């Protein structure tokens, strides 16, 4: 009866999990839209195209329109509609004339959940008191306030290049040439929102982003930019409220690729996967453009689109203390991290005054929107140093990044952006001993505490757990002889350490929780999804081994897995009681230690009872 009850509970739990999984709507299908994209095949005759457009207009009482003047060559039309109309169009015979029909999703400026993206205003009159710069890299009065540029070691990169002859397309809310962008060189862009040449900013976001990339520098005014000798291409796809459609964004990506852009920055995003945008990204990538996008500010375990697409560098954010910003997305789609700011310190640039859009003000923003242009600026420096292919530039950025230890949830991707090391690697093809020494220092490897508290020595507890489980098994074997077998060995590993090396595996656009589950021992399963260190007392106890014994003890082979698991859990709890006794609700003191030790003894006792008088092969 006990086995039947446990089996029923298992089936119920599995059914609930499968139901939730089947009904889970992923980010690829989420998103708002008010219009629908009709992408007609380019090989159909113009006469047939016009007939189909007229048929759609008559049948659905809508007027298909070109998204913008650049959409005609791609046969991209837009019609108003909702989910119902989308289904009807996809089922219509007219769909045969189209490559695809999809929602024209609305992407927006990512906004931090706990703070407004408009931060503190600085009074320009402060300049007189700060005429002498606090750092040698630039004479801009507010440069001393730009912790973010010092964090990425931009001064070391400037000794090699400032991004000359590189064009960075800023696909955003437009760019207004405020006073601190006057000396920056611009190339023609386009306003896809209003379908006109002038791409001025009526929101403030795009101008701020552009400033981080290439704000005029060493002009004795305002602040500095990263690649300040690069050219800016303003492409407006977001309206004054910060929203824009994937059709406009896709058109802007192609415009940038066709008009000489080397780098594209997109500090925008949302839910909803788009064939149109993916095709545009692939098109730009084939033309040698490197594309960067913000990971998003929802504090969720996956980057938003377009950062999730292949060939796009997804950027998460960290604050002045180097820790992940609380709003930043993480996990799938994050390739690297960069300064994005927090309440402790924002990203300072000049942008338009929200109350008087004809004037400029210096403002501090925070968000992954601010992190992405840091990577775009450094990518421009890398390309100016001679690395041309997008994939090669990405490798340079990743290899030169400051690594972050214990990043199992992929908060930082390859690590934290390092402009100096990136340019050094791009220029010489290898990092010098001085740069390697600096990397060792910045990564903490020169700190003795690293080798005591973490790093390579972090493997020691896992090794002790595995060895301890085998010692316990050997001890039982002396008194109750049995043969070793694979089931026993797998039980020992599952209970003690799990396949712990799998926790560090990261595959683009796949969830990390399966790797964390496989890489966790039985006691760690209760806290592995949350990514916390403290044990869940239900899992870090004799309960799970007891349940396995109840289910498997009658099976001549699998009972040895249950026995091995019980011994492995005993070793895991015993080692943890000595080295890291943290348990939910019990803290990490004497109560936690006693709880773990008592349950370790119970697990060993349970295994002893199971193998007593057993002489069959394992």
**Which residues belong to the active site?**
172, 205, 369
d(CA 108, CA 268): 5
d(CA 311, CA 292): 9
Q: Kindly state the helix (H) or strand (E) to which residue 573 belongs, with its residue range.
A: helix 559-579
Q: Residue 71 to residues 77, 220, 439: CA-CA distances in angstroms?
A: 7, 43, 47
Q: Residue 68 to residues 60, 201, 529: CA-CA distances in angstroms?
A: 22, 19, 45
d(CA 475, CA 483): 13
Q: Residue 465 to residues 8, 98, 263, 424, 489: CA-CA distances in angstroms?
A: 32, 60, 49, 43, 13
- What's the per-residue H, E or C state across 172-210? ECCCCCCHHHCCCEECCCEECCCCECCCCCCCCHHHHHH
Displacement of CA 473 from its chain's centroid (Å): 43
d(CA 427, CA 160): 8
Give backbone dihedrals phi and psi of 250, rounded to 5 degrees, phi first: -60, -40
Q: Residue 5 to residues 1, 546, 547, 558: CA-CA distances in angstroms?
A: 6, 14, 11, 19
- Quick one: CA dihedral 335, 329, 249, 57, positive or negative? positive
- Quick one: CA dihedral 341, 277, 311, 191, positive or negative? negative
- In this structure, the number of other CB atoms found within 10 A of the CB of residue 6 comes to 14
- In this structure, the number of other CB atoms found within 10 A of the CB of residue 19 comes to 10
Residue 100, exposed/middle/buried by CB under 10 A (0-12, 13-18, 19+)?
A: middle
Which residues, at least 6 apart from 261, have a Cβ–Cβ distance to it below 8 Å?
167, 168, 169, 233, 284, 289
On the question of a cis peptide bond just before residue 306, with omega within 30 degrees of 0, the verdict is yes
- Select from 103, 109, 24, 108 the least CA-distant residue to 274: 103
- Select from 400, 17, 342, 420 the least CA-distant residue to 147: 342
Burial 113-148, CB ≥16 within 10 A → b, else e: eebebbbeebebeebeeeeebeeebbbbbbbebbbb
Residue 8, exposed/middle/buried by CB under 10 A (0-12, 13-18, 19+)?
A: exposed
Contact 571, 603 (CB under 8 A): no
Using only C-alpha atoms, the chain has a radius of gyration, in whole angstroms, of: 29
- Select from 66, 70, 69 the least CA-distant residue to 39: 66
The pair of structure tokens assigned to 23 is 């009904």
d(CA 136, CA 201): 32
């Amino acid at each position: 009866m006990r086995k039947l009850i446990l089996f029923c509970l298992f089936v119920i739990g599995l059914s609930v999990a499968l139901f939730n999984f089947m009904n889970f709507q992923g980010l690829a299908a989420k998103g708002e839209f008010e219009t629908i994209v009709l992408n007609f095949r380019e090989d159909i005759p113009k006469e047939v195209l016009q007939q189909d457009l007229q048929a759609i207009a008559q049948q659905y009482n809508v007027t298909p329109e070109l998204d913008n003047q650049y959409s005609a060559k791609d046969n991209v039309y837009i019609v108003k509609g909702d989910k119902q109309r989308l289904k009807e169009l996809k089922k219509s015979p007219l769909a045969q004339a189209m490559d695809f029909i999809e929602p024209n999703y609305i992407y927006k400026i990512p906004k931090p959940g706990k703070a407004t993206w408009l931060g503190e205003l600085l009074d320009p009159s402060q300049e007189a008191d700060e005429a002498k710069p606090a750092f040698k890299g630039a004479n801009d009065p507010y440069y001393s306030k730009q912790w973010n540029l010092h964090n990425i070691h931009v001064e070391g990169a400037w000794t090699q290049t400032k991004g000359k002859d590189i064009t960075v397309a800023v696909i955003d809310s437009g760019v207004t040439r405020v006073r601190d962008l006057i000396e920056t060189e611009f190339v023609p862009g386009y306003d896809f929102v209003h379908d006109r040449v002038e791409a001025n900013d009526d929101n403030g976001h795009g101008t701020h982003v552009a400033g981080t990339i290439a704000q005029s520098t060493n002009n004795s005014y305002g602040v500095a930019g990263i690649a300040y000798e690069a050219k800016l291409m303003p492409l407006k796809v977001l309206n004054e409220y910060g929203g824009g459609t994937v059709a406009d964004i896709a058109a802007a990506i192609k415009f940038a690729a066709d008009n000489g852009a080397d780098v594209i920055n997109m500090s925008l995003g949302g839910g909803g996967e788009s064939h149109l945008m993916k095709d545009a990204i692939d098109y730009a990538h084939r033309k040698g453009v490197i594309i960067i996008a913000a990971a998003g500010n929802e504090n969720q375990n996956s980057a938003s689109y377009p950062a999730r697409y292949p060939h796009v560098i997804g950027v998460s954010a960290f604050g002045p203390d180097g820790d992940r910003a609380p709003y930043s997305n993480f996990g799938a789609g994050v390739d690297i991290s960069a300064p994005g700011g927090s309440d402790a310190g924002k990203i300072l640039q000049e942008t338009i005054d929200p109350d008087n859009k004809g004037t400029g003000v210096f403002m501090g923003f925070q968000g992954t929107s601010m992190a992405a242009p840091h990577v775009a600026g450094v990518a421009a420096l890398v390309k100016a140093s001679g690395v041309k292919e997008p994939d090669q530039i990405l490798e340079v950025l990743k290899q030169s990044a400051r690594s972050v230890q214990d990043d199992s949830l992929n908060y930082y991707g390859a690590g934290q952006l390092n402009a100096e090391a990136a340019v050094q690697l791009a220029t010489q093809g290898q990092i010098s001993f001085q740069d390697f020494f600096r990397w060792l220092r910045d990564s903490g490897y020169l700190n003795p505490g690293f080798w005591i508290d973490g790093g390579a020595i972090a493997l020691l507890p896992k090794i002790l757990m595995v060895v301890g489980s085998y010692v316990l098994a050997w001890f039982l074997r002396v008194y109750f002889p049995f043969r070793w077998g694979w089931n026993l060995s797998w039980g020992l590993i599952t209970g003690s350490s799990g396949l712990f090396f799998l926790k560090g595996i990261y595959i683009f656009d796949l969830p990390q929780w399966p790797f964390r589950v496989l890489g966790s021992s039985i006691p760690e399963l209760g806290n592995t999804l949350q990514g916390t260190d403290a044990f869940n007392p239900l899992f870090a106890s004799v309960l799970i081994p007891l349940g396995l014994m109840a289910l498997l003890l009658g099976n001549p082979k699998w009972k040895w897995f249950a026995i091995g698991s019980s011994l492995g859990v005993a070793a895991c709890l015993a080692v943890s009681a000595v080295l890291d006794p943290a348990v939910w609700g019990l803290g990490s003191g004497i109560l936690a230690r006693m709880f773990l030790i008592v349950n370790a003894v119970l697990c060993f006792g349970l295994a002893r009872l199971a193998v007593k008088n057993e002489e069959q092969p394992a």
